[in-house]
């Protein structure tokens, strides 16, 4: 008889209102509190500890000391009492770290999940996720990665920026800039996520967007050569930096999308079609890491937005 999948086991635990830790081999752990996921940690994603240490809020030794002093489940409250971070900041860190870890844990795995009743994470419970909502969010994130760049080829390879950008100017998000600056042709996205104290999913998304813009060398492409042109239907139109009729005006290249194996002829046809369909003076807004996720009228979405607002206000 085949072992139950992690999705099926997690669903059963949620329906039973279980409290404890669901370990997925060496890949990570999902913590439940009365049937809801309260935290998740994964071997390939930074946890709250890594995020705090990278931000300079507390040293690694201070985190170890807090774990020993607080005991099981009391670490988060202790950090708040010591002024390391506010309650809202703690909730926000738990939110990000859990969504990040769950994305990589809730996928097919050869590891056999095992549940330990009553076990809690050292931080305690500070944010709750329904299992069904977590599944939906993971599916949404997978779809967004596919839209950004449909190939996972660069997900586990060293990040290697091209030496010659595909335009006079490129528009980057702050995270994309950090990745290009920190990339040393040896560090993988996972290495960079931990080094920068950034969520692994956000780093992966930024890497794929950089690849789609032609700013990263692909496995079959040298870093010192010109990047291949985007294929048909994937290029984002360039945005002029100045007036269209100005002499010597620079061209701002939005993060254009491309697919491996594109040809120049395909790009040319796509560019002509995009320019023909584009209204005069309009600009295209890409779905970068700073873009807001789609929100439905679900009560859970409304509640999430309210709690996010409270957490963001506490960060001021």
- Lookup: tokens for 13: 């635990």
294-303 contact pairs (CB < 8 A, 24+): 294/140, 300/130, 300/133
CA distance 182 to 209: 16
- Lookup: tokens for 113: 């999940």
> 3-class SS at 275?
helix
Among 202, 227, 233, 201, smallest CA distance to 215 is for 227
DSSP letters spanning 76-113: HHHHHHTTSS-HHHHHHHHHHHHHHHHHHHSS--SS-E
- Lookup: tokens for 304: 């999430």
CA distance 40 to 89: 17
Measured in degrees and rounded to the nearest 5, phi and psi for residue 21 equal -120, 130
Each of the 316 residues of the chain gets a pLDDT tens digit; together they read: 567 889 999 999 999 999 999 999 999 999 999 999 999 999 999 999 998 888 888 898 899 999 999 888 899 999 999 999 999 999 999 999 999 999 999 998 888 999 999 999 999 999 999 999 999 999 999 999 999 999 999 999 999 999 998 888 889 999 999 999 999 999 999 999 999 989 999 999 999 999 999 999 987 665 554 444 444 433 333 332 333 333 332 222 333 444 445 544 544 444 444 444 443 333 333 334 333 333 333 445 545 655 665 565 555 5
Pairing of strands 239-240, 113-117: unpaired
CA distance 36 to 19: 8
Give every strand in the sheet of 239-240, ordered side by side: 169-170, 251-253, 239-240
What sign for the dihedral angle of Cα 53, 124, 307, 94? positive
Instruction: List CB contacts of 82: < 8 A, sequence separation 6 or more.
Output: 66
Query: Do you know the residue count of the chain?
Result: 316
């Amino acid at each position: 008889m085949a072992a139950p999948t992690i999705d099926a086991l997690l669903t059963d635990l949620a329906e039973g209102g279980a409290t404890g830790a669901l370990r997925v081999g060496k890949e990570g752990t999902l913590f439940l509190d009365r049937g809801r996921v309260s935290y998740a940690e994964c071997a390939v994603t930074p946890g709250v500890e890594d995020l705090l240490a990278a931000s300079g809020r507390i040293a690694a030794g201070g985190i170890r000391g807090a774990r020993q002093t607080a005991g099981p489940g009391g670490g988060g409250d202790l950090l708040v009492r010591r002024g390391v971070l506010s309650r809202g900041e703690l909730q926000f860190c738990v939110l990000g770290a859990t969504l990040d870890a769950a994305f990589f844990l809730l996928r097919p795995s050869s590891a056999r999940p095992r549940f330990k009743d009553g076990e809690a994470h050292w931080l305690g419970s500070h944010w709750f996720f329904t299992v069904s909502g977590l599944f939906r969010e993971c599916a949404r994130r997978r779809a967004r990665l596919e839209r950004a760049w449909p190939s996972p080829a660069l997900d586990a390879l060293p990040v290697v920026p091209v030496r010659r950008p595909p335009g006079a100017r490129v528009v980057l998000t702050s995270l994309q800039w950090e990745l290009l600056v920190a990339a040393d042709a040896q560090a993988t996205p996972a290495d960079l996520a931990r080094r920068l104290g950034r969520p692994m999913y956000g780093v992966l998304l930024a890497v794929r967007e950089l690849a789609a813009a032609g700013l990263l060398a692909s496995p079959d492409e040298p870093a010192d050569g010109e990047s291949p042109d985007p294929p048909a239907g994937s290029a984002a139109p360039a945005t002029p930096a100045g007036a269209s009729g100005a002499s010597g005006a620079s061209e701002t290249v939005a993060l254009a999308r491309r697919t491996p194996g594109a040809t120049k002829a395909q790009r040319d046809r796509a560019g002509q079609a995009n320019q023909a369909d584009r209204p005069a003076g309009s600009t295209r807004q890409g779905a970068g890491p700073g873009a807001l996720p789609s929100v439905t009228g679900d009560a859970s979405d409304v509640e999430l937005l309210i709690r996010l607002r409270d957490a963001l206000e506490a960060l001021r």
